[in-house]
Chains A and B, each alone.
Chain A
């Protein structure tokens, strides 16, 4: 009789195999373990922020003028800013902002760029040409400049910064998806599906898109790090988060003016950016190894 379960044990092993390979590779390599640990740590911190932070109100912006610009001490681990707010609490809250904004940027850019690239790659000819030429146009601009221009036009705010980055970044995913789609389109199993009479839409969804996921995933992980820096950068330039938002970039910018006498103000948010982005980069390398068929084949003969 036909099995009731929809997947055999072997099948489950296969599905989780990619995750197992990823975990094994990550944990074997100490650098990527560190990367994974950093990210997990930051995520946990971000989720539990309101509960673990000593001065949640100050993190959101309530000033405490009496304590302005205190150096790091036991009551204020990272010191305080010019309005007396506890820097540690603000940096921790900043993690939420950074993670959420970078995830939004990357997810939206993929949601926009991936289907376009897949369509362009699969259909080719005119549709492909049109999509790719538009993509090329966007890619011709230096990314930061474009983001700046869009953010400046829209006005300075965190949401506008995110929008600006999405508009700047989607073409990179289109390009990636396009390349994969072109390769996959020519594979025998796509031919086989066409010969069976499977419609184009179904082919794109079931055959082309899954094949594009691997390189996109690698790029996305690395991009999360870049997104954090870009949002921070836009905030630093005044085009992103506005006070009193505890955005890291904004804090670095404000802290800059106090730097010489009050080193802690710009340093701790800066360090936070550094460490989190490093985490994403290290993890991105591990994902690339897990997902790259050539690399994994070497190990498996």
Chain B
């Protein structure tokens, strides 16, 4: 019944974020004259779109490029090429002033709350920072708004005057969330929002995020390596490996019938609290994750793939092909 509602909503919504052929490379400089000898292809030709109101999960391990992708979308790093359409406007093309205005709608919550909050600022000032940057609100009004926001995330006015080190992990993360909501954004990037939190605090924060999403009609891009969180909350999921998208699909598709061999291995590698692994056989991948500065030829996963079919995997990069209305996979097994 719940899924029925989700499906109906999905049909009615429009695309709020569209990423097209995004490439973010980091130059590798060496030698006395610091010449560019190569590139770390952190994000290599990534395309996907997110609908308004959905929770889009982005999973991957280290080197997958998911964090760089998030920072590129937020324009905290300048991508090499590609387009990022937010609400119809290509964020990569606009000037600084327009970008600053756009930032009101496109916010972010980072992983470690204690590192994301300046330890020398009070909670009130931290939450007020966006207001100071974008509005001319008076101090009194700012404090009122800060109090409102803290209430929204389940904190009391008492916390207004505290410093971040006086807070617990959960409280600090709530402050980060409040900060992100100050300017009434439409889209929030959540970069590993619960990974540094304890188990029961994770639960609280996830509940809060879901509640806020419904109340404020937010769209989330949820980046994480924690598959349980994605399975719990995401509508659609993209799996990344070494800078490329391996697979995109709805959460049912990805978790019940993963198509890409990497997705299959990833899912089977997660130790589950239910003790699933004890009954099913696990796929143990060979080797380690290659470095993004020197990725394997052809399909980047071919060096570890348990479903390697032959030379084609080594020689040719698979395209992202459409398997169904909602599913895309980049794997030679599924060539049309």
Decide if A and B touch, CB cutoff 8 A: yes
Which positions in A face B, CB cutoff 8 Å? 1-3, 5-8, 10-11, 14, 187-189, 191-199, 202, 206-207, 210
Q: How far does the alpha carbon of A198 sit from the alpha carbon of B96 in the complex, in Å?
A: 12
Which chain B residue lies CB-closest to A192?
B116
Which chain A residues border B133 with CB–CB below 8 Å?
Answer: 196-199, 202
Q: Are A11 and B74 in contact (CB under 8 A)?
A: no
For residue A253, give the distance in angstroms from its CB to the closest CB of chain B. Answer: 46
C-alpha spacing A104/B182, complex, angstroms: 44
Those 9 A-B pairs whose CB atoms lie nearest each other, nearest first: A197-B103, A8-B161, A188-B115, A198-B133, A196-B130, A197-B100, A188-B116, A192-B116, A11-B161
Q: Mark B94-134, 1 if CB is under 8 A from A, else 0.
A: 00000111011001101110011110111000000110111
Q: How far is the CB of A41 from chain B (nearest CB, A)?
A: 33
Contact between chains at A210 and B161 (CB < 8 Å): no
A189, B104: Cβ atoms closer than 8 Å: no
What is the CB-to-nearest-CB distance from A15 to chain B, in angstroms, rounded to a whole number?
8
In the bound assembly, the distance between CA atoms of A192 and B126 in angstroms comes to 10
Contact: A191 with B76, CB < 8 Å?
yes
Interface positions, chain B 127-167, Cβ under 8 Å from A, are 129-130, 132-134, 143-144, 147, 157-158, 160-163, 165-166
A2 vs B144: C-alpha distance in the bound complex, in angstroms?
8
- Closest Cβ neighbor of B108 among chain A residues: A195
Given contacts A191-B110, A192-B108, A196-B129, 10 further A-B contacts (CB under 8 A): A3-B160, A11-B122, A14-B162, A188-B115, A188-B116, A193-B118, A195-B103, A196-B179, A197-B133, A199-B133
Q: Could you tell me the distance in whole angstroms from the C-beta of A199 to the nearest C-beta in chain B?
A: 7
Name the residue among B118, B120, B133 with the largest chain A CB count within 10 angstroms: B118
- When C-beta atoms are compared, the residue in chain B nearest to A187 turns out to be B115
* Pairs across A and B, CB under 8 Å, 27 listed: A2-B143, A3-B157, A3-B160, A3-B161, A8-B162, A10-B166, A11-B161, A11-B163, A11-B166, A188-B111, A188-B115, A189-B117, A191-B116, A192-B116, A192-B176, A193-B118, A193-B129, A195-B74, A195-B76, A196-B107, A196-B129, A196-B130, A196-B133, A197-B99, A197-B103, A202-B132, A206-B121
Q: How far is the CA of A133 from the CA of B76 in the complex (A)?
A: 27
Residue of A10, A192, A194 with most partner-chain B CB within 10 A: A192
Contacts of A207 in B (CB 8 A): 118
Measured between C-beta atoms, what is the minimum distance from A291 to chain B in Å? 13
Q: When chains A and B are docked, how far (Å) is the Cα of A191 from the Cα of B108? A: 10
B111 and chain A: residue at smallest CB distance:
A188
User: Which residues on the A side are within 8 Å of B182 (C-beta)?
Assistant: 196
Which residues of B are found within 8 Å of A187, using beta-carbon distances? 115
Nearest chain B CB to A201 CB, angstrom units = 11
Chain B residues with CB under 8 Å of A8's CB are 158, 161-162
CA distance A139 to B3 in the complex (A): 68
Interface residue tally for chain B (C-beta within 8 Å)? 39
- How many residue-residue contacts, CB under 8 A, span A and B? 83
Contact of A1 among B100, B116, B157, B176 (CB under 8 A): B157
Contact pick for B118, options A2, A5, A6, A206, CB 8 Å: A206
A193 to B161 CA separation, bound complex (whole angstroms): 19
- Which chain A positions have C-beta within 8 A of B163? 11, 14
Bound-state Cα–Cα, A207 to B115, Å: 12
Report which residue of B103, B120, B162, B179 has the largest number of chain A beta carbons within 10 angstroms of its beta carbon.
B120
* Dominant secondary structure of chain B at its interface with chain A: helix
For A199, list chain B residues within 8 Å (CB).
100, 133
Closest partner residue, chain B, to A211 (CB atom): B120
Chain B: CB-nearest residue to A213: B120
Contacts of B165 in A (CB 8 A): 14
A210 to B143, CA, bound (A): 23
Collect the chain A residues with CB atoms within 8 Å of residue B112's CB: 188
Shortest distance in angstroms between B148's beta carbon and chain A's nearest beta carbon? 10
Once bound together, how far apart are the Cα atoms of A105 and B92, in whole Å?
47
Contacting A at CB under 8 A, from B154-205, are 157-158, 160-163, 165-166, 176, 179, 182
Name the distance in Å between B163's Cβ and chain A's nearest Cβ. 5
* Cα–Cα, bound, A2→B149 (Å): 13
In the bound complex, how far is the Cα of B144 from the Cα of A188, in angstroms? 27
- Which residues of chain A have C-beta atoms less than 8 A from B116's C-beta? 188-189, 191-192
Chain A nearest CB: distance from B203 CB in Å? 24
Chain B residues closer than 8 Å to A198, beta-carbon distance: 129-130, 132-133
Q: Point out the residues of chain A lying under 8 angstroms from B71, CB to CB.
A: 191
Query: Are B110 and A2 in contact, with the CB atoms below 8 A?
Result: no
Q: Select from chain A the residue with minimum beta-carbon distance to B176.
A: A192
- Candidates A192, A195, A202, A210; contact of B120 at CB < 8 Å: A210
> From A184, which residue of chain B is reached at the shortest CB distance?
B118
Residues of A contacting B157 in the complex (Cβ-Cβ under 8 angstroms): 1-3
Least CB distance, A20 to chain B, in whole angstroms: 15
| CA gap between A51 and B163 in the complex, in Å | 46
Chain B residues whose CB sits within 8 angstroms of the CB of A14 once the complex forms: 162-163, 165-166
Hey, which chain A residues are within 8 Å of B107, CB to CB?
A: 195-196
Contact B118 A7 (CB under 8 A): no
Q: How far is the CA of A195 from the CA of B117 in the complex (A)?
A: 13
Complex Cα spacing A188 to B111, Å = 9
Chain B residues with CB under 8 Å of A3's CB are 157, 160-161
Q: How many whole Å from A196's CB to the nearest CB in chain B?
A: 5
Bound: A189/B107 CA distance, A: 14
Contact yes or no, B118 A197, CB < 8 A = no
Alpha-carbon separation in the docked complex, A63 to B130 (Å): 66
Distance in angstroms from A184 CB to nearest chain B CB is: 10
